[in-house]
Amino acid sequence: MGTLIKKFRKIESHFILILALFFNISQALSKEEFALNEDINTTDLVYESPEQMLVKSLVEISEGKLDKALETIDNLIKKTPNFKLAYLIQGDLLLAHTKQINGIGDEYLGGKKEEIENFKNEAKVRIERYLNNLNLQNEPKIFAQLSEKDRYLFYVDVISSRLYLYENINGKISYTDDYYISIGKNGFGKQYEGDKKTPIGVYFIGKKIKESLSDFYGGRAYPLSYPNEIDTKNKRKGSGIWLHGTPKQTYSRAPLASDGCIVLSNPDLMKLSSILENYNIPIIISFHSLRDLESINKNLIEKKLALVKTLETWRKNWEDQDTDNYLKFYSKNFFSKKDNFESWALRKKVIQSLKPKVSIDISEISFFDYPNIENEIVLVEFLQDYKSPSINNKMNKRQYWINENNDWRILYEGSS
């Protein structure tokens, strides 16, 4: 991908004009980004995926090589005969040999204005992926840590219609691949059943649905753990948010097309199928792009260390039965399945007043930035080993920590 990005950066400024005309995405481009450095030979690059072939055709269009672009699109259609956007470009390229065209699909508008706009939007987000100057080989600025038991992490950028796959390599979050996706028809920020929006938050991908599915889902679907504890607290309704494929006759859908699910092409979903067999993969669905995170999380290492240190201090205060300092780690807005802050504090004071000798160990710590407009929230999970004179218990613990006035406080606590 790096070679492809470098190539885009060397293309003449007329690329801007042609793409603006052909795809109406001039807002995404700037002349300064496309200064000519040398002639580019598109045949030197290897394009394997349908999306890469689509991008290759656009490069060839920008260079005025309409015959080459048509050949690339023809090969793309042979390889992926259900890629509807490719057919539209093919038709425009054929028309371009006989007349001037003013924009993608303009000759086919008629009663299909919405469909053509969907194609334009799909083309826009696909091409922007390759114009985005991100060094994906660097560790991403995602405020997250994977424990040794977590092999993978998905990050969904709903604005850019992109799903990023990361792998845990020796404790480092490492980029593996990324994919075009569709989200809800009405965008993101799900609030209630039937609003056709995709939820924002941290979820976990469940096991493949075994029941027979209609062709609409592409034959494969994986449920997401929506609604989570934060959703329930905020009275967000609905269910059945899945990661699934497309009908056989459709390679991909528009960026905003689902009833709230995250939709991949069937080939992309098949590529991920072996990974998705790993149960309970975390998925962060966010309105922040990876570029946004570079400015939001400039001091990422320090932020991670501060959270881990706070978690350890909380553990130590609990183990020491230092009730007053222990309870300072809980937000006044704290909730659990059966407690608010007042009832939680009262119960803990009663238990800890007896000063039982306890041993508390936490391991397999993972945490994930929870996209939120107001206070910063992080979902934390760990294995808790609790020993006392009367109890010997191991459990998987889940907490949500909220940043209140630059201090981390526990907003929720329960088993996971």
57-67 burial, b if ≥16 CB within 10 A, otherwise e?
A: bbbbbbbeeee
Is the per-residue pLDDT at 28 higher than 70? no
Is residue 165 within 8 A of residue 142, CB to CB? The reply is: no
Tokens representing residue 299 in the block: 């001091």
Is residue 222 within 8 A of residue 207, CB to CB? The reply is: yes
Domains of the chain: 2-131 (no CATH), 144-296 (2.40.440.10), 300-415 (3.10.450.50)
pTM tops 0.85: yes
Percent of the chain with pLDDT over 70: 85
Q: What is the mean pLDDT of the chain?
A: 87
Tokens representing residue 410 in the block: 């526990």
pLDDT tens digits, residue range 140-165? Answer: 999 999 999 999 999 999 999 999 99
Tokens representing residue 234 in the block: 């905020």
Is the per-residue pLDDT at 82 higher than 70? yes
pLDDT tens digits, residue range 254-274? Answer: 999 999 999 999 999 999 999
Q: How confident is the model at residue 178 (pLDDT cuts 50, 70, 90)?
A: very high
User: Across the strands, what pairs with 183?
Assistant: 256
Query: What 3-state class would DSSP assign to 126?
Result: helix
Residues 6 or more apart whose Cβ sits within 8 Å of residue 11: 34, 36, 40, 59, 62, 63
The stretch 387-392 carries a mean pLDDT of 90
d(CA 66, CA 90): 10
Tokens representing residue 194 in the block: 């039937």
Query: What 3-state class would DSSP assign to 162?
Result: strand
Is the per-residue pLDDT at 22 higher than 60? no
The stretch 29-57 carries a mean pLDDT of 55
d(CA 83, CA 119): 11
Is the per-residue pLDDT at 14 higher than 70? no
pLDDT tens digits, residue range 213-252? Answer: 999 999 899 999 999 999 999 999 999 999 999 999 999 9
Amino acid at 65: K
Q: Beta strands 262-263 and 281-286: pairing type? A: unpaired
Per-residue confidence (pLDDT) for residue 23, from 0 to 100: 45
